[in-house]
């Protein structure tokens, strides 16, 4: 397996080849851990991030269309770091010492992301309850419209209407930072 290219490994992964997954795990674990640890500076949190990314790769293997495995995993790890910070520091103000410690990196990307995330969270909280739930199921939990409809006992058309309403609201509320949230819209 060591001699296989990333593309060959991805093809085998999509066919549920556990050996291919194991090879990807061994090939990228250290690199992903370095990315996560460099931002978090907490060993267990960094390990959790890498585990989350690699587990997601296996679970979503059939639906992913990955062209460059290395880049995909690095990006997924960065987003997982941001989610991990949200889990570690829920509802904490930016001047909290724990937040400052986590985001005190040489560059300000993490602090900027945290501020943007707070703005997004505030805008999402302004949505009506059903609309907010539909948006969170769709974007945060990555449920399909059909799954959301079943979970909330709504029609798929109603789910689509709630998503449209939520996205319109968020575009208006976050128009000055809209490009940063393109992965939600």
The two tokens of residue 184 are 């939600």
Greatest pairwise CA separation for the chain in angstroms: 53
Q: Is-same-fold flag (1-88; 108-185)?
A: no
Best CATH choice for the domain 108-185 from the list 3.40.50.11540, 1.20.120.550, 2.70.150.10, 1.10.10.10: 1.10.10.10
In the predicted model, is pLDDT for residue 24 greater than 70? yes
How many CB atoms lie under 10 A from the CB of residue 94?
A: 12
Sequence spans of domains, the chain:
1-88, 108-185
pTM of the model: 0.53
pLDDT in tens, 123-133: 899 999 999 99
Mean pLDDT score across all residues of the chain: 82
Q: What tokens were used for 155?
A: 């029609």
Residue-level pLDDT at 66: 86
CA pseudo-torsion sign 105, 106, 108, 109:
negative
End-to-end CA distance of the chain: 38
The CATH class, in words, for 1-88 is mainly alpha
- Quote the pLDDT of residue 49: 93
Rounded percentage of the chain residues whose pLDDT exceeds 90: 44
Phi and psi at 105, nearest 5°, equal -100, 160
**Segment 105-108 long-range contacts (CB within 8 Å, at least 24 positions apart):** 105/38, 105/39
């Amino acid at each position: 397996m060591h001699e296989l290219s990333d593309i060959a490994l991805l093809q085998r992964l999509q066919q549920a080849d556990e050996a291919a997954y194991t090879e990807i795990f061994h090939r990228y674990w250290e690199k992903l851990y370095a990315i996560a640890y460099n931002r978090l500076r907490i060993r267990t949190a960094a390990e959790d991030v890498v585990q989350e990314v690699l587990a997601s790769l296996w679970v979503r293997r059939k639906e992913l269309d990955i062209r460059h495995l290395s880049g995909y995993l690095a990006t997924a790890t960065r987003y997982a770091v941001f989610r991990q910070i949200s889990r570690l520091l829920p509802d904490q103000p930016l001047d909290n010492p724990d937040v400052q410690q986590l985001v005190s990196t040489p560059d300000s990307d993490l602090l900027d992301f945290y501020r943007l995330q707070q703005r997004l969270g505030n805008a999402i909280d302004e949505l009506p309850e059903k609309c907010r739930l539909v948006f969170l199921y769709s974007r945060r939990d990555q449920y399909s419209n059909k799954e959301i409809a079943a979970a909330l006992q709504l029609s798929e058309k109603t789910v689509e209407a709630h998503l449209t309403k939520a996205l319109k609201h968020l575009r208006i509320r976050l128009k000055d930072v809209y490009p940063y949230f393109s992965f939600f819209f």
